[in-house]
């Protein structure tokens, strides 16, 4: 595809917010336009990543609402829903809009408003993605994580503490992210002593319920320098799908969508996993950081847990993972998360990540929908 650049980015504070989805999307959208110095009416395409505004808030048609509020009419607009990977699939859609020549300037805004619902209600909205044979048993996304974590620990003889260390690492990173829902460290004892949610996983193995929004602005690479000196190039982007019924997968510790979307993204970028300098992985549950780091080829199958034990994914390690704090610390407003992952890599690659800054010329995001049901992987490089 023709090269696509990201020339602007923004994100709201993540957490419990007073505004509704409309307010959050507008806040991120206006900030992104301002970041790049363009107006709403300059946009050709506007994509909105969102999973469940109708179910959470009774508000549908959010893409039309945002286009009007941003003064972007008569822009082409579309809502992108791929459950928790709505953000990553929105990145894919935005890149395609530029690469195809259909748009010269595309904005993507992802967002979700969730915290006004009880934990039971939010859990059920998210669990509604499951197949009827799963739903009737009360299967939830956290219970999939518990089932998979037990299988992984047993199969690879990994210590329970290695999962807890993912939470400790990502909370430590989140301290330096002013947008994160939780900006405080937790220690190993706190994680291992927190209440059980889905045995063997405990409260601190799970991301919180979050409100928030993030936005990105895309254009053809050849005109990126007309907008800014600081941009990144999307060198690879791909998506893939695994079984809807989770137990039908041959190996519960392998997410086929991660493997396939990663393979395609690396092929498109012409890069190998060991050439990635920084990554944002979808740590909705601590076990997912292991499954993605292995499925993407950063570590051998069954050895992702060793990487966290050895500090290789720390901020000062060979492959910093989730410098933003990840979903675990930053929060997980469903439709916004994939967009916010790219926001973090964008900031790292233009050298504007503040105290979280690492040395990086290449970065990767992996955004997971359902329990690995739909996955998008994006690879970016610093613009030159």
Binding mask 198-217 for other proteins (x = CB under 8 A): xxxx----------------
Based on the shown chain and the rule CB under 8 A, indicate whether residue 57 belongs to the binding site for other proteins: no
Based on the shown chain and the rule CB under 8 A, indicate whether residue 142 belongs to the binding site for other proteins: yes
Based on the shown chain and the rule CB under 8 A, indicate whether residue 147 belongs to the binding site for other proteins: yes
Based on the shown chain and the rule CB under 8 A, indicate whether residue 245 belongs to the binding site for other proteins: yes
Based on the shown chain and the rule CB under 8 A, indicate whether residue 157 belongs to the binding site for other proteins: no
Looking at beta carbons only, is 198 or 278 nearer to other proteins? 198
Q: How far is the CB of 53 from other proteins (least distance, A)?
A: 14
Q: How far is the CB of 296 from other proteins (least distance, A)?
A: 23
Residues 8-37 that bind other proteins (CB under 8 A): none
Residues 112-141 that bind other proteins (CB under 8 A): 119-121, 123-125, 127-128, 131-140
Based on the shown chain and the rule CB under 8 A, indicate whether residue 50 belongs to the binding site for other proteins: no
Of 154, 222, 310, 318, the residue at the interface with other proteins (CB under 8 A) is 154
Q: What is the 3-state secondary structure (H, E, C) of the chain?
A: CCCEEEEEEEECCCECCCCCHHHHHHHHHHHHHHHHCCCHHHCCEEEEECCCHHHHHCCCCHHHHHHHHCCCCCCEEEEECECECHHHHHHHHHHHHHHCCCCCCEEEEEEECCCCCCHHHHHHHHHCCCCHHHHCCCCCHHHHHHHHHHHHHHHHCCCHHHHHHHHHHHHHHHCCCCCCCCCCCCCHHHHHHCCEEECCEEHHHECCCCEEEEEEEEEEHHHHHHHCCCCEEEEEEEEEECCCCHHHCCCCCCCHHHHHHHHHHHHHHCCCHHHCCEEEECCCEHHHHHHHHHHCCCCCCCCHHHHHHCCCCCCCCCCCECCCCHHHHHCCCHHHHHHHHHHHHHHHHCCCCHHHCCCCCEEEEEEEECCCCEEEEEEEEECC
Residues 303-332 that bind other proteins (CB under 8 A): none
Q: How far is the CB of 56 from other proteins (least distance, A)?
A: 10
Q: How far is the CB of 191 from other proteins (least distance, A)?
A: 16
Q: How far is the CB of 38 from other proteins (least distance, A)?
A: 39
Based on the shown chain and the rule CB under 8 A, indicate whether residue 60 belongs to the binding site for other proteins: no
Total residues in contact with other proteins, by rule CB under 8 A: 40
Q: How far is the CB of 142 from other proteins (least distance, A)?
A: 6
- Positions touching other proteins (CB under 8 A) are 55, 119-121, 123-125, 127-128, 131-140, 142-143, 146-151, 154, 195-201, 245-248, 252
């Amino acid at each position: 595809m023709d090269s696509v650049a990201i020339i602007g980015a923004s994100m709201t504070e993540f957490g419990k917010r007073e505004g509704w989805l409309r307010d959050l999307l507008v806040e991120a959208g206006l900030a992104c336009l301002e970041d790049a110095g363009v107006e709403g009416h300059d946009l050709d395409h506007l994509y909105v990543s969102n999973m469940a505004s109708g179910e959470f808030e009774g508000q549908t048609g959010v893409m039309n609402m945002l286009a009007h509020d941003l003064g972007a009419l008569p822009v082409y607009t579309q809502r992108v829903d791929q459950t928790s990977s709505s953000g990553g699939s929105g990145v894919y859609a935005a890149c395609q809009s530029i690469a195809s020549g259909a748009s010269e300037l595309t904005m993507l805004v992802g967002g979700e408003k969730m915290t006004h619902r009880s934990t039971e209600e939010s859990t059920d909205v998210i669990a509604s993605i499951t197949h009827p044979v799963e739903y009737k048993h009360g299967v939830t996304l956290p219970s999939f994580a518990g089932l998979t974590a037990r299988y992984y620990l047993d199969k690879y003889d990994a210590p329970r503490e290695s999962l807890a260390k993912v939470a400790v690492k990502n909370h430590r990173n989140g301290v330096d992210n002013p947008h994160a829902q939780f900006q405080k460290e937790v220690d190993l004892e706190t994680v291992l002593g927190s209440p059980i949610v889905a045995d063997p996983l405990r409260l601190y193995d799970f991301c919180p319920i979050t409100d928030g929004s993030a936005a990105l602005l895309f254009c053809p690479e050849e005109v990126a320098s007309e907008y800014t000196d600081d941009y990144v190039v999307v060198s690879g982007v791909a998506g893939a799908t695994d079984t809807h019924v989770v137990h039908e997968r041959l190996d519960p510790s392998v997410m086929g969508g991660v493997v396939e979307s990663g393979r395609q993204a690396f092929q498109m970028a012409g890069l190998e996993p060991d050439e990635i300098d920084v990554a944002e992985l979808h740590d909705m549950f601590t076990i997912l950081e292991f499954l993605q780091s292995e499925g993407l080829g950063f570590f051998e199958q069954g050895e992702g847990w060793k990487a966290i034990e050895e500090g290789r994914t720390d901020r000062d390690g060979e492959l910093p993972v989730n410098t933003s704090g990840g979903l675990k610390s930053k929060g997980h407003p469903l439709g916004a998360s994939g967009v916010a992952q790219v926001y973090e890599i964008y900031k790292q690659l233009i050298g504007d990540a503040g105290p979280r800054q690492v040395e990086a010329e290449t970065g990767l995001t992996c955004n997971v929908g359902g329990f690995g049901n739909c996955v998008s992987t994006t690879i970016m490089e610093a613009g030159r």
